[in-house]
A and B are shown apart, each in its own frame.
Chain A
Amino acid sequence: MISELQFLVGLGLAIFSVGVVGFLTRRNGLIALMCLELMLNGVNLCLVSFSRHHGNAEGSALVLLIVLVAAAEAALALSLFVSLYRQSGSVELDDFRLLKG
């Protein structure tokens, strides 16, 4: 029988891996951003379960910092995609090859 910590860390790593697969395969910019949030969520789960099993609140403090950074990142990236959509009418990542020679 697996312990609670093993279960939670395994679940966190599984969510992270799902996020990586989505980030590599989906070409819609907004869905790629959602996969980024999934990855951060998996890391949060690992941090909280380690924090519980070490018996201190360091992991939980790091989770709060991660949530703040994720909020800033989501707001900036979403406004970036809105202005890209205004310019070109698309958020497909394959449509943006401006820097390709």
Chain B
Amino acid sequence: MTVSPTFLQWLLGAVTLALALLVILGRNPVVSAISLMGTLFSTGLIFFSVGAQFVGAVQILIYAGAISVLFIFVVMLLDLRPTRVRIPGRAPVYVFSFVVCALFFVAAILSVLPVLRNLGAIEILGLSEAGLDQGPVAISMQLLSKYMIPFQATALLLLAAVMGVVVLGKKNMLSERKQSEQK
């Protein structure tokens, strides 16, 4: 017996896809940023609906809460003008990228399909019902055993990112140093 998606999941999926399309079709970057926030939020709700509550909470807190607010902040700080989505003379680029993405989508679905069929067989045995533990304990067991090195590497990555942001944020560091040397 396979589990079919619930009505709520169909609804959330449609909302997520519509907001994702609004991100790339909106003329105003503010509209794009706010619909990105909506996309991330409704993805978090989908995570809740499949029983991954902890990941859903992290998604909503960090992604929809912090990262997309950073995007909205920067978009409003820079005071960008609404841009045209379609620029004349670039039609080949649009056609090419739509064709490439359609091909990618079909190829990805086809390559995943055998795996999905096998997993359907597993569902018949009821194995997926047995272990649905995706709580903080199960996730941190994985992070602190099998993914220990990547987990530690993200600490270094975040440190490097903080230092990089500080260096980029300082106004004209190099020219200031030159001026102070001339004095």
Residues of A within 8 A of B (CB): 1-11, 13-22, 24-28, 30-31, 33-35, 37-38, 41, 44-45, 48-49, 51-58, 60-65, 67-76, 78-83, 85-86, 91-92
B13 touching A31 by the CB < 8 A rule?
Answer: no
Q: Write out the residue numbers on chain A whose beta carbons fall within 8 Å of the beta carbon of B77.
A: 82
Measured in the bound complex, the distance between the Cα atoms of B51 and A8 in whole Å is: 13
A-B contact pairs, 25 of them (CB 8 A): A3-B3, A3-B5, A4-B6, A6-B116, A13-B109, A15-B43, A17-B105, A18-B24, A19-B24, A20-B101, A30-B78, A34-B23, A37-B40, A52-B132, A55-B128, A58-B142, A60-B138, A67-B63, A71-B67, A72-B154, A74-B67, A75-B165, A78-B74, A83-B169, A86-B171
Give residues 149-183 of B contacting A (CB, 8 Å).
150-151, 154, 157-158, 160-161, 164-165, 168-169, 171
B24 touching A21 by the CB < 8 A rule?
Answer: yes
A62 touching B147 by the CB < 8 A rule?
Answer: yes
A22 touching B23 by the CB < 8 A rule?
Answer: yes
A3 touching B16 by the CB < 8 A rule?
Answer: no
When the two chains form the complex, which single residue of B2, B52, B83 contacts A27, counting CB atoms closer than 8 Å?
B83
Q: Write out the residue numbers on chain B whose beta carbons fall within 8 Å of the beta carbon of A16.
A: 108
For B31-60 the 0/1 string (1 means CB < 8 A from A) is 011001001100100110011101100110
For B1-24 the 0/1 string (1 means CB < 8 A from A) is 011111001100100110011011
Q: Write out the residue numbers on chain B whose beta carbons fall within 8 Å of the beta carbon of A19.
A: 20, 24
B74 touching A30 by the CB < 8 A rule?
Answer: yes
B139 touching A64 by the CB < 8 A rule?
Answer: yes
Q: Write out the residue numbers on chain B whose beta carbons fall within 8 Å of the beta carbon of A91.
A: 78, 80
Closest 10 CB pairs of A and B: A22-B24, A55-B131, A24-B97, A72-B161, A57-B138, A61-B142, A3-B2, A7-B5, A79-B168, A17-B105
B101 touching A34 by the CB < 8 A rule?
Answer: no
Measured in the bound complex, the distance between the Cα atoms of B9 and A85 in whole Å is: 41
B142's nearest neighbour on chain A, judged by CB, is A61
Q: Write out the residue numbers on chain B whose beta carbons fall within 8 Å of the beta carbon of A25.
A: 24, 85, 93-94, 97
B70 → chain A, closest Cβ, in Å? 6
Q: Write out the residue numbers on chain A whose beta carbons fall within 8 Å of the beta carbon of B87.
A: 27
A17 touching B97 by the CB < 8 A rule?
Answer: no
Q: Write out the residue numbers on chain B whose beta carbons fall within 8 Å of the beta carbon of A28.
A: 29, 80, 83
A20-B97 contact given A30-B29, A68-B157, CB 8 Å threshold: yes
B70 touching A74 by the CB < 8 A rule?
Answer: yes
A53-B158 contact given A11-B17, A82-B78, CB 8 Å threshold: no
A4 touching B168 by the CB < 8 A rule?
Answer: no
